[in-house]
A and B are shown apart, each in its own frame.
Chain A
Amino acid sequence: MSYETRPLPPDLEEQLAVLRQIADGSDDLLIDPVTVGGIRCAVVCCEGMLSTAIATELIIEPLTAIPAMPDSTALLTHIQTHLLLSFDRVVVRSYGDLFRLLHSGFAILLAQGQTMALAFGVQGYDKRSISEPSGEADLFGAHEGFTEAIRTNMSQLRRRMKTPLLKFELRVMGKLSHTDVCLCYLTDRVPPQLLRRIRHELDAAELDTILSPGYLQPFLERRGSMFDSVSTTERPDVLVSKLLEGRVAVLIDGNPFAIVVPKLLVESFQTLDDYNYKPYYATFIRWVKYLAFLITLLLPAVYTAVSVHHPELLNRTLLMLLTRAEAEEPLSLPLEAIGAFLMFEIIREAGLRLPKVVGGAVSIVGGIIIGDAAVASGLVSTPMLTVVAISVTAGFIVPDLSPVITVLRLLFIAAGGLWGLYGIGLLGMAVTYQLCRTEDFGFPVTAPLSPLYLRSMRDVMTRVGFRRMQHGNFTVEEYHEQDQ
């Protein structure tokens, strides 16, 4: 019989023997025999997971003050009905539950003659305090981000949405990790079929462990698409705004990123700061982002295509400038472009993986020395480096789409270099089709552009003021279509 479903035997010694057997001599298991109310008991906990002071004050001292009880049943009844001890109290009936709670920072009280145990939540393990999120910078938003503790994250959401309509559904996932996963949604806004399908997909997931959102994302989004149909966020304020639109969030214990289902492409261009600026400026910035997206994706490809295949589109002065710059280059323009972008990706990845102390040096070496040396040695021309720099900088405006942009940019350069604007047009159509077929549980990623919802354009093409938006009552259910 698997330990997961093995019930607790009534004899205390046998309970502890099985416990030791399952733990197989793990040194962090602490077993303290104690007599409570005249009944032989044992308190079991996991070293480092609970706060000794809290456990002593809230568990040990009250327990030892219990008067003599006739039997263990009376003892446990007395504890459950007359003593508070901890807000988080669970009745344990199997070793699976016992170990899950033990390793979640609970103290377990086993009693002689009982086939159940009581677990008290006295977690005291060290965890990261709430700090500003590493990505998703916002000028006017809160400087709080999620942490690795799921219950802290839940509390951050609850503080921002004090309505009882905000519901948390906890479940345990991961055959070995028993990770706490929480579905969050607003009961009056979430589309029921979306919730049903998410639950079904999560139930069907058979994973050993869940360490990051990437473990669950494949179960929540459509297969075979380059574009994400679920998003992640580290910010509770952003997550709340998405819950208000009827989306479902998935929190994972041990990871500060929440998964949000479904995702729309236009969200990649929206930030919380947009709603803090005046509408005219927010609209301007939105369009700057759209333009930046097109620039980062297409500028190198169009530059390559026009220079190689359609130089008549270039202004004469610019053409002569490019001709002079490219005259001494050993590589063809497409190869130059691809090489420059690959170099940038290597530097970027290196900077990401290195310790912070060294990371700065990498930036200097990569950006200044290599870039300057590449131009001085004649491997890469200055106009090409300028185009690469503009494209890369524009890409920083939409970090959400960074993986897609990185790959597509290279493909577009190849297509433009090989076949000119014709190749770019064809690849553009293929990418657009790929984007248009991406949907999540019947919610197309291209909504509200396609299918077109004119009412939603007030927050896509422009950003209207809250006086007009306050009467919206918009939810994503409006975008739902029958699945393909």
Chain B
Amino acid sequence: MKRICLPVCLLLFLLTGCAGDAIADRLYTQAIGLSGKDTLQFTIQGFEEEDARTVYADGIADALRQEEAEAGGRIFLGHTELLCLDGSRTSDTVRMLLFEQGLSPGCKVLYASPGELLRRDSTEYVHALRMAEKNGLLPATELSTVLGEWLGAWETALLPAQDRKLVLLHRDGTCVYLSEEAAAGMCWLRPGTGSFSMTTGAGDAEIRSLELTKTMQDGQGQYHIRLVTQDADDALRRTLKDRVQAECEAAVREMRDAGADVIGLQTLMEAAGMQSGGTLPEVAVTVTVT
């Protein structure tokens, strides 16, 4: 008798339709934007939607509830591709989104005003960001990387901004734009895995691979970059070496001036038994091109 009851109850329960939200009843967000220090301005744009919606709430949970009421369905953040921040909301809010609301850890983070940006097609922008990273024009800046940097001793993260600029954004919302040279230097100091081409004064160079080794010696960070090129002559290699060296030094200089560590110095310092936080150590960058 018991063996019959269980399947029957199961079937009855199933037939009531209590099987969770239907797949089509959810709003799958493509991009979200956070703004507002006291009152959260929460902007959301779904896939295959042209317009974005903005709500104002005290916190994320309230904001999501309001959005769901406006959208008429559950908000699903697991496929979000772009997160726009203008600096007023940083690590705490982002952390909550990642761990409690299921935001995708691989979504790109962008320093921009959410309201402006989300009026455009986020798909193209996300693809552009990804391509720029592949071509070495921007360092990788996923949500997990950015959040990890905010949790570091200097509480500063490197974020891409519009027009391929880079910005150092502190947890408290202050930001510093990096110059073009420093931004290029950051791409060398936080390399991706692909190969790409670039134009120098001595011609075009094909970068096959980039290897970065980091150590700490005598209280000074030692960053050695090894570039492997394809069919590059001596002149081209020299030009490339000088350019990379200059860009890296610019990046390190502006980063230290801003009091930030976005190149992994903290890990090296902790490994060397040094106290992290406070003044950043000197960093020496050497470049080898083969």
- Would A and B touch once assembled, by the CB under 8 A criterion? yes
Looking at the assembled complex, report how far the CB atom of B171 sits from the nearest CB atom of chain A, in whole angstroms: 27
Q: Do A311 and B78 touch across chains, with their CB atoms under 8 A apart?
A: yes
Whether A145 sits at the interface, judged by CB under 8 Å, is no
Instruction: Determine if B17 and A332 form an interchain contact, defined as CB atoms under 8 angstroms apart.
Output: yes
With both chains docked as a complex, state the minimum distance between the C-beta of B105 and any C-beta of chain A, in angstroms.
Answer: 10
For B19, B102, B104, the residue with the greatest tally of chain A CB atoms inside 10 Å of its CB is: B19
Q: Are A414 and B20 in contact (CB under 8 A)?
A: no
A interface footprint on B10-21 (CB within 8 Å = 1, 0 otherwise): 110111011111
> In the complex, what residues of A have CB within 8 A of residue B17's CB?
332, 335
Q: Is B48 an interface residue (CB 8 A)?
A: yes
Instruction: Using A319-B79, A333-B22 as known contacts, say yes or no to A311 and B13 having CB atoms under 8 A apart.
Output: no
Interface: B23 (CB within 8 A): yes
Interface mask (A269-299 → B, CB under 8 Å = 1, otherwise 0): 0000000000000000000000000000000
A309 within 8 A of partner (CB): yes
- Stretch with Cβ within 8 A of B (4 or more), from A122-130, A247-255, A320-328: A320-328
Query: Chain A residues near B81 (CB, 8 Å)?
Result: 316
Of B11, B23, B81, B102, chain A has the most CB atoms within 10 Å of the CB of: B23
Residues B14 and A308 in contact, CB atoms below 8 Å apart = no
Find out whether the CB atom of A308 lies under 8 angstroms from the CB atom of B78.
no
Q: How far is the CA of A399 from the CA of B79 in the complex (A)?
A: 40
* CB–CB B21/A418 < 8 A: no
Q: Does B47 touch A at the CB level, under 8 Å? A: yes
Specify which chain B residues have a CB less than 8 angstroms from the CB of A323 in the assembled complex. 23-24, 26, 28
> Complex: how many Å from CA A326 to CA B22?
8
For residue B76, CB closer than 8 A to chain A, the reply is yes
Quick one: closest B residue to A315, CB to CB? B79
Asked whether, in the complex, the Cβ of A311 is within 8 Å of the Cβ of B23, the reply is yes
Contact size class for B? 20 to 34
In the complex, the answer to whether B14 meets A414 with C-beta atoms within 8 Å is: yes
**Hey, what's the 0/1 contact readout for A420-452 against B, CB within 8 Å counting as 1?**
100000000000000000000000000000000
Cβ contact of A312, chosen from B10, B13, B24, B79, cutoff 8 A: B79
List, in ascending order, chain B residues with CB within 8 A of A335's CB.
Answer: 14-15, 17, 19
Assess the A332–B104 pair: CB atoms within 8 A: no
**A320 lies within 8 A of B47 (CB):** yes
Residues of A within 8 Å of B24, CB to CB, are 323-324, 326-327, 329
Least CB distance from A96 to B in Å reads: 41
> A307 near B: Cβ within 8 Å?
yes
Q: Would you call A418 and B13 a contact (CB within 8 A)?
A: yes
Contact of A414 with B78 at beta-carbon distance under 8 Å, contacts A311-B23, A332-B22 already known:
no
Minimum C-beta distance from B15 to chain A (A): 7
Q: Is A390 an interface residue when CB atoms closer than 8 A count as contact? A: no
Bound complex: CA of A418 vs CA of B14, how far in Å?
Answer: 8
- Looking at A324, A414, A420, the one whose CB has the most chain B CB atoms below 10 A away is A414
Q: Which residues of A contact B18 (CB under 8 A)?
A: 418
Known contacts A311-B78, A418-B13; is A334 also within 8 Å of B23 by CB? no
State whether B14 touches A338 (Cβ < 8 A).
yes
- Give the contacts of A329-365 with B (CB-CB under 8 A): 329, 332-335, 338
Which residues of A are found within 8 Å of B22, using beta-carbon distances? 308, 326, 329, 332-333
For the complex with contacts A319-B79, A414-B11, 12 further pairs of A-B residues with Cβ separation under 8 Å are A309-B20, A311-B26, A319-B23, A319-B28, A322-B23, A323-B24, A327-B24, A329-B24, A332-B17, A332-B20, A414-B14, A417-B20
11 contacts between A and B (CB under 8 A): A307-B23, A308-B20, A308-B21, A312-B102, A320-B48, A329-B24, A333-B19, A333-B22, A334-B19, A335-B14, A417-B14
Q: B-side interface residues toward A, CB under 8 Å?
A: 10-11, 13-15, 17-24, 26, 28, 47-48, 76, 78-79, 81, 102, 104
